[in-house]
């Protein structure tokens, strides 16, 4: 079951520089921003709370990582839309049965320890991330 828009992912060259703008524009304070490095994805992440959703800033930690290559090819900007789901395994099964092209056939661990899986933009016209959080939030 779909719960909500979990977050919008934005690929950036520098989280620090981008955070300055977002803090000024949105009035966010640095202590409300969750940061982490997700080694498996070669990314540093900053989660900016916006009501019940978030903006996720993504910076590559590897010059040859997927995120770095995406920024090199397409520039900084919208990377993905993340949809919160209550059961990621059931959501993936449902999508597979409907012939949707998946990047991830099985969930993996993403930022904040959430279970995640990506839907290929060939099927959805945008990169979609399914997110199942432990606490449902």
Lowest mean pLDDT among 50-54, 69-73, 84-88: 50-54
Provide the residue ranges of all domains of the chain, joining segments of one domain with +: 2-132
Which residues make beta-bridge pairs with 117? 130
Residue 44 tokens, joined: 């540093």
**75-128 per-position pLDDT tens digit:** 999 999 999 999 999 999 999 999 999 999 999 999 999 999 999 999 999 999
Q: Which of 60, 111, 105 is nearest to 82 (CA)?
A: 111
Q: What is the pTM of this model?
A: 0.90
Out of 3.40.50.300, 1.10.510.10, 3.10.180.10, 3.20.20.70, the CATH code matching 2-132 is 3.10.180.10
Cα distance between residue 117 and residue 104, in whole Å: 5
Strands (E), the chain: 2-11, 34-38, 43-50, 53-60, 77-85, 108-109, 115-119, 128-132
Please, is 40 exposed, middle or buried when counting C-beta atoms within 10 Å of its C-beta (0-12, 13-18, 19+)? exposed
């Amino acid at each position: 079951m779909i719960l909500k828009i979990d977050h919008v992912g934005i690929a950036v060259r520098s989280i620090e520089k981008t955070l300055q703008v977002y803090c000024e524009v949105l009035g966010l304070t640095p202590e409300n921003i969750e940061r982490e490095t997700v080694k498996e994805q070669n990314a540093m992440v900053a989660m900016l709370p916006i009501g019940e959703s978030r903006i996720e800033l993504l910076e590559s930690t590897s010059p040859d990582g997927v995120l770095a290559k995406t920024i090199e090819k397409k520039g900084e900007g919208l990377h993905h839309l993340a949809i919160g789901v209550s059961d990621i395994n059931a959501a993936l099964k449902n999508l597979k049965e409907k012939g949707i092209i998946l990047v991830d056939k099985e969930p993996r661990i993403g930022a904040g320890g959430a279970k995640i899986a990506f839907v290929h933009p060939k099927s959805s016209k945008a990169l979609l991330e399914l997110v199942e959080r432990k606490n449902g939030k």
